[in-house]
Amino acid sequence: MTPLRQRMIEDLQVRNLAPATQKNYIHYVYEFARHFHQSPDLLGPEHVRQFQLHLLQDRKLSAESVNQYVSAVKFLYRITLGRDWGDQHFPRVRVPHHLPVVLSHEELIQFFDHVPSLKYRAALMTCYAAGLRVSEAVRLQVSDIDSQRMMIRVQQSKGQKDRYVMLSPRLLELLRVWWRAARPKQWLFSGWRTGRHLCANSLQTACREARLRCGIPKKITVHTLRHSFATHLLESGTDIRIIQVLLGHSRINTTARYTQVSQKTICATPSPLEALDRQPPSPPKGKARAKA
């Protein structure tokens, strides 16, 4: 390991960035250096720009992935190397705005009916019932299920924050069925390796296979269940700030996007066409057509 790599790892650890973020930052800086076959401390802003174009044009990476690379090299040069480079040296790619996909109640019933495995059905229903991210669901421990207070504790989620979400009575019943069948000890949803929790990719694969079986044309991922949770709460009249807390959002603007897909919010807003006079349309002005 080079001294520069070790220094960057230490800088990441000192700032207590999430383990996944640390891993990704180190990976992108490594890819950056390997692309030019030089140490990053010998490269300049033009190399940063060239590699960004390489990721976009040659490797066809998404805007989110390219921006993560930008954040990684920005951390390297500003923090670890102490370079006095401005933001103009680290341009970010504009990320397209997409509205979340939301399933109706009927589609959710159809989807869950096509998840054959009890473990995966329980995990996916937990994502919908509590609005969990896939990483949060697979890392749930048995002790996180508080049946006395009817709450689920989500530990060290995004932003390294804990939060509580509701425990649905129907979900509790299903989790008890799963517990009696599998007798999990530490992790609620254990993986195939002893002492490890279920892999997030495995749950995504189970979700994708269930979508293919049920025939719903919408793109369904585990995160779609979280979007559906938030939208259905909003449509049932739940205050948006409560939804913000349940989802673990830091900013209300992130939660507010669900108003853009809420059927009740959109359909309850009358079109201005309704305010127009309901008189029958008048004939067009001008000369009358000559009779044949």
Q: Which residues are catalytic?
A: 133, 158, 223, 226, 249, 258
The pairs formed by 55-63 with CB atoms below 8 angstroms and a separation of 24 or more are 56/93, 63/93, 63/94, 63/95, 63/96
The beta-strand segments (E) located in the chain are 145-146, 151-154, 163-166
Q: What does each C-alpha distance from 82 to 54, 96, 179, 191 come to in angstroms?
A: 25, 32, 52, 43
Q: In whole angstroms, give the CA distance from residue 157 to residue 133.
A: 9
Percent of the chain as helix, strand, coil, to the nearest 5: 55, 5, 40
> Residue 197 gets which letter from DSSP?
B
